[in-house]
C-alpha cells in the first residue's frame, strides 16, 4: 500500500516542473492547532521572498489554522491526512514515503521542519532525497523532565541523530539552545537563535469590548483573568482551576476565561466545579481572534510545565497586558519579575494566586506592567515579523557545516 501510494503520487498526472528560476522550499509541520509554532510557521512561509523562493507548505489535516494556511497567496499547501501527532507506525511510514515522493517530484532544495514528529519525518525524508539544505526550528524540545526516563532518553537519541543531517537548528529561546547543548544535540555552531515575531495588534474598539463583555456575562467592574492554551498535559490547565479558586476567595469580583481545547477539557470543567468556580469561568474553546480576547483581559496566566518560548505571552505583552506564568524554559527570558509580570516556580499555585491577587487589587500596577511589556516586545523586535523572516533567510544561505 505504501509503495503504491508513493508511485501514484510521484507519477500523478498533475506533475508540473518547478520554476527553475526560484529555490523550491518546503516547510513541514505536524498539525495546525492554534499554537505558537503553527502561527510562526504560517507567518514565515507567507513572508518568504516570493521572487526568490518557490514556496511549499505541508501539514497534517488536524487543526484550527488549516483554513488560514489555505488562504496563503502564492504558496502550494498540501494536507497529508496521515501526518499526525501521536505515534502510529503505519501512518508515520505512509507520511514518510509521501514526503520522499513530494521532495523528489518538486525537486525541493530546502526543507524547514517545525514540531517534533514533522521534524523527524521531514528531515529524514529530505536526507533520503539528497535535499542539500535541511533546517529545523525547535519550538521546545521533544523531551522534558515530566516523561518516563527511558522514553526521554529515546527522544534525546533521535534528536542527536537527526541533528547530524541538519544544516542548522533554529531555536526560539536561549533555554532551548542550552538544553540542546547540554544533551549533546549538535554543536554550538549548529545553533541559531531567532525569536518568533507577530504583527502589532490593532487598538481595541471600546464599544465592541462592552458588547463582548455583556455577551459573556462578565460583571461590570470585574477583573478578568485569562488562560490561553491547548488543554493538554504540557499546559497543565488543572492548576488554572486551583489558582482561580484561591484568587476568587481573596477577590470575589474576579472573572476567569479559558481559551483553548484539548484532551483535558472535561477534566478542567470538572476541576472548576470541584473548586467552586465553574459559575465564574467561561470555557471559550478555540478563538481565532486572540487580540479580541486579550482586549477583555486584565491579567494573562500560563501554567505550562515546559515550553519553548510561548507566543501567547508575546501577544499578551503586545496588547499591554501583565502576565503571570510558571518560570519554565524560555519564559524567564521574557517575563521580568515585577516589571512586566511575574514568573513563579512550577506548581507554586499559592504564589501564582498571590501575584494575581496583587495585580487585581492594584490597577495602576497592572497598567504599568502592561506598558512595560509592550515596550519590551517592541524593543526586542517581537513586533517585526519581516526582520524575523530576513534573519531566517540569511540562515538558509549559510554554508554546510
Structural domains for the chain = 2-197+384-396 (3.40.50.2000), 206-379 (3.40.50.2000)
Identify which of 383, 321, 68 has the alpha carbon closest to the alpha carbon of residue 196. 383
Give, in degrees to the nearest 5, the angle at Cα 37 between 33 and 42: 80
User: How confident is the model at residue 288, as a pLDDT?
Assistant: 82
Helix (H) or strand (E) holding 313: helix 311-318
User: How confident is the model at residue 3, as a pLDDT?
Assistant: 44
Identify which of 75, 129, 66 has the alpha carbon closest to the alpha carbon of residue 97. 129
Question: Which grid coordinates belong to 255?
Answer: 472573572
User: How confident is the model at residue 1, as a pLDDT?
Assistant: 45
Q: Give Cα separations from 191 to 22, 40, 186, 233, 400 (angstroms).
A: 26, 18, 8, 28, 13
* Residue whose C-alpha cell is 526560484: 22
Identify which of 397, 45, 47, 391 has the alpha carbon closest to the alpha carbon of residue 192. 391
Instruction: List the pLDDT tens digit at each of the 401 positions of the chain.
Output: 444 444 555 545 454 555 668 999 999 999 998 889 999 999 999 999 999 999 999 999 988 888 899 899 999 999 999 999 888 899 999 999 999 999 999 999 999 999 999 999 999 999 999 999 999 999 999 999 999 999 999 999 999 999 999 999 999 999 999 999 999 999 999 999 999 999 999 888 878 888 888 899 999 889 999 999 999 999 999 999 999 999 999 999 999 999 999 999 999 999 999 999 999 999 999 998 899 999 999 999 999 999 999 999 999 999 999 999 999 999 999 999 999 999 999 999 999 999 999 999 999 999 999 999 999 999 999 999 999 999 999 999 998 76
CB atoms within 10 A of CB 42: 23
Looking only at the bridges linking them, the beta strands covering 133-138 and 168-171 are parallel
Amino acid at each position: 500500500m505504501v509503495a503504491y501510494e508513493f508511485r501514484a503520487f510521484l507519477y500523478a498526472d498533475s506533475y508540473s516542473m518547478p520554476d527553475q528560476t526560484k529555490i523550491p522550499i518546503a516547510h513541514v509541520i505536524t498539525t495546525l492547532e492554534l499554537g505558537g509554532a503553527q502561527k510562526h510557521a504560517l507567518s514565515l512561509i507567507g513572508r518568504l521572498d516570493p521572487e526568490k523562493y518557490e514556496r511549499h507548505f505541508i501539514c497534517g489535516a488536524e487543526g484550527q489554522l488549516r483554513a488560514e494556511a489555505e488562504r496563503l497567496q502564492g504558496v502550494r499547501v498540501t494536507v497529508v491526512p496521515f501526518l499526525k501527532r501521536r505515534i502510529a507506525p503505519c501512518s508515520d511510514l505512509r507520511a514518510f514515503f509521501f514526503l520522499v515522493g513530494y521532495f523528489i517530484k518538486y525537486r525541493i532544495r530546502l526543507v524547514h521542519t517545525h514540531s517534533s514528529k514533522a521534524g523527524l519525518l521531514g528531515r529524514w525524508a529530505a536526507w533520503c532525497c539528497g535535499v542539500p539544505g535541511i533546517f529545523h526550528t525547535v519550538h521546545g524540545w521533544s523531551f522534558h523532565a515530566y516523561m518516563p526516563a527511558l522514553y526521554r532518553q529515546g527522544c534525546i537519541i533521535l534528536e542527536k541523530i537527526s541533528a547530524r543531517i541538519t544544516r542548522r537548528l533554529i531555536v526560539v529561546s536561549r533555554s532551548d539552545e542550552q538544553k540542546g547543548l547540554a544533551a549533546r544535540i549538535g554543536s554550538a555552531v549548529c545553533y541559531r537563535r531567532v525569536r518568533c515575531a507577530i504583527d502589532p495588534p490593532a487598538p481595541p474598539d471600546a464599544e465592541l469590548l462592552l458588547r463582548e463583555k455583556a455577551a459573556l456575562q462578565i460583571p461590570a467592574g470585574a477583573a478578568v483573568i485569562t488562560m490561553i492554551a491547548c488543554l493538554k498535559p504540557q499546559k497543565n490547565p488543572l492548576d488554572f482551576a486551583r489558582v482561580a479558586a484561591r484568587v476568587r476567595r481573596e477577590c470575589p469580583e474576579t472573572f476567569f476565561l479559558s481559551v483553548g481545547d484539548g484532551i483535558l477539557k472535561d477534566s478542567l470543567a470538572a476541576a472548576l466545579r470541584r473548586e467552586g468556580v465553574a459559575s465564574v469561568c467561561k470555557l471559550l474553546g478555540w478563538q481565532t481572534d486572540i487580540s479580541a480576547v486579550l482586549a477583555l483581559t486584565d491579567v494573562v496566566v500560563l501554567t505550562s510545565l515546559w515550553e519553548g518560548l510561548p507566543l501567547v505571552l508575546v501577544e499578551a505583552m503586545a496588547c499591554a497586558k501583565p502576565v503571570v506564568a510558571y518560570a519554565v524554559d524560555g519564559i524567564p527570558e521574557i517575563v521580568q519579575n515585577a516589571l512586566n509580570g511575574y514568573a513563579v516556580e512550577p506548581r507554586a499555585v499559592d504564589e501564582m494566586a498571590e501575584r494575581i491577587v496583587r495585580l487585581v487589587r492594584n490597577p495602576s500596577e497592572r497598567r504599568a506592567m502592561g506598558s512595560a511589556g509592550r515596550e519590551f516586545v517592541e524593543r526586542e523586535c517581537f513586533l517585526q515579523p519581516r526582520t524575523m523572516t530576513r534573519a531566517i533567510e540569511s540562515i538558509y544561505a549559510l554554508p554546510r557545516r
